[in-house]
Amino acid sequence: MTSLGYLLGLLLLAYLGTFLVGNWTIRGFGLSSNVEYVVLGFFLGPVLGILDRHALTIFDPLAHLAIGWLALLVGLNYGHNNGVHVRLRSGLLGSLIALVTFGLLFLGLWRLLPSLVPLLPQEQTVLAAGVAIACTETTHHAVRWVVERYQANGPLSRLFGEMTNVEDMVPILACAVIFAVNPIPDALLTPVPSALVSLGLGIGMGLLTTALLGREFCWDESWRLLLGASLFTIGLSVQTGMSPLTTMFVMGVTLSVFSAHRLEIVSMTAPTEGAVLLPALLVAGARLDLTSSSVVPIVALFGVLGRLVVKLLCGAGLRWLLPEARTTQPWMGLSLVAAGGFAMSVGLTFHLRFPGLLGDTVLASAAATTLLGEFIGPPSLRATLTRSGEIAGPTTTPPPQAQRS
């Protein structure tokens, strides 16, 4: 297939994505993580050979753009659960769970890797951190998918929704540090301050965009300003070796905090999520390479199993700390293993930044985490909420979809 054919296919998928992901009234017919598009890309690429993995490198700039734009959307909604500010307790618990998950996974993988493959110390750190970052976050979409589909309502539903909304900060900051201490050749920034510079760039562009938007909100003018600022920020991040995931997330958070038009910006950009996410997932699946080294599936397996163990421990801690969680099952932590677009964005980011064994392993770990989390996370969350009395018991036919507010 020619590059033009690839481009037309991705554009078609982007068009379909605006309906399949953007329309909440039919969301219950798909999977909460959209991992089916990763699987589709894997079959079209490595399995059937229809999508050539090396030919897809021509779309690397578009992949960077997709990653950055999705990070911007995450930043715009950070700290808000269904339009309401996340409570301080939930925010602290979510951040703590993310920090514990990342820390334990990183330490475990860092100790394990020397027995699996000979790596330089710097490569060992990058690989352990990359897999840990990809396996840290619990996707907020899975919680919302279960809550809306089964009309769950109660303190535990709100707690899960708020905690999973703030977990992104820890892996995103970790990603900034890893990119900072591993500069690209001929980078414009020295490695020591670039982690802070990536944060400064996101804050600066967010403040600049806020100022340019002004007091009156104009739809067309706002689109031009937001797209222009995003393209500049993503391009500068990639060319200087910074993480576009970090800079765009920070830019989105800055806009959310300082712009008087946050609600209008969120409403304006929300329909683009599907148009960007689905092609990115398809490309990520097509670029999976499980045969480049025997280490790739082994490390991915350890990453997934380590995530399950750590989430179980976090769930046990929540049951001990919180009164509303004490009536749930001992394995409540499995409700936190769902992953999705963010994990795949991390995997694709590392795949583009560290080509070869490191990038292949992180991308494979992200895909394995997303696939396994899809079949464990939502059913476990549904069982947990049913046990706590926030879902009216199992039904053979789910209740009507909640309309998007």
pLDDT at 194: 67
- Could you tell me if residue 90 is inside a domain? yes
Q: Residue 185 pLDDT > 80, yes or no?
A: no
Instruction: Round to whole Å and give the CA distance between 98 and 170.
Output: 6
pLDDT at 391: 87
Cα radius of gyration (the chain): 20
- Could you tell me if residue 177 is inside a domain? yes
pLDDT at 9: 59
Residues 45/223, Cβ–Cβ less than 8 Å: no
Q: Tell me the CATH number at 216.
A: 1.20.1530.10
Q: Residue 102 pLDDT > 90, yes or no?
A: yes
Q: Residue 272 pLDDT > 80, yes or no?
A: yes
pLDDT tens, position by position, 340-356: 889 999 999 999 999 89
Q: How many domains does the chain have?
A: 1
> What is each CA distance from 143 to 19, 50, 109, 156, in whole angstroms?
21, 35, 28, 11
Instruction: Round to whole Å and give the CA distance between 86 and 278.
Output: 28
Range of lowest pLDDT (89-98, 134-143, 395-404):
395-404
pLDDT at 368: 95
- Could you tell me if residue 221 is inside a domain? yes
Query: What average pLDDT does range 154-179 have in this prediction?
Result: 93
The gap from C-alpha 272 to its chain's centroid, in whole angstroms, comes to 16
pLDDT tens, position by position, 330-340: 889 999 999 98
What is the chain's mean pLDDT, rounded?
Answer: 86
Query: What average pLDDT does range 213-230 have in this prediction?
Result: 87
Residues 215/260, Cβ–Cβ less than 8 Å: yes
Please count the other Cβ atoms lying within 10 Å of the Cβ belonging to residue 44: 17
Query: What average pLDDT does range 3-20 have in this prediction?
Result: 53
* Residue that wins the pLDDT comparison between 7 and 316: 316
Bridge-partner residues for 84, per DSSP?
A: 81
pLDDT range class, residue 91, cuts 50, 70, 90: very high
Query: What average pLDDT does range 363-384 have in this prediction?
Result: 94
Domain hosting 146: range is 3-387
The angle formed by the CA atoms of residues 336, 338 and 341, to the nearest 5 degrees, is 135
Q: Is 88 left (phi over 0), alpha (psi -120 to 50) or beta?
A: alpha
Instruction: Round to whole Å and give the CA distance between 243 and 105.
Output: 21
- Could you tell me if residue 396 is inside a domain? no
- Could you tell me if residue 44 is inside a domain? yes
pTM to 2 decimal places: 0.89
Write out the chain in H/E/C secondary structure. Answer: CCHHHHHHHHHHHHHHHHHHCCCHHHHHHCCCCCHHHHHHHHHHHHHCCCCCCCHHHHHHHHHHHHHHHHHHHHHHHCCEECCEECCHHHHHHHHHHHHHHHHHHHHHHHHHHHHCCCCCHHHHHHHHHHHHHHCCCCCHHHHHHHHHHCCCCCHHHHHHHHHHHHCCHHHHHHHHHHHHCCCCCCCCCCCCCHHHHHHHHHHHHHHHHHHHHCCCCCHHHHHHHHHHHHHHHHHHHHHHCCCHHHHHHHHHHHHHHHCCCHHHHHHHHCCHHHHHHHHHHHHHHHCCCCCCCCHHHHHHHHHHHHHHHHHHHHHHHHHHHCHHHCCCCCCHHHHHCCCCHHHHHHHHHHHHHCCCHHHHHHHHHHHHHHHHHHHHHHHHHHHHHHHCCCCCCCCCCCCCCCCCC
pLDDT at 334: 93
pLDDT at 107: 96
pLDDT at 34: 81
- Could you tell me if residue 399 is inside a domain? no
pLDDT range class, residue 396, cuts 50, 70, 90: very low
pLDDT tens, position by position, 27-71: 445 677 888 888 888 888 888 877 777 777 888 888 999 999 999
- Could you tell me if residue 61 is inside a domain? yes
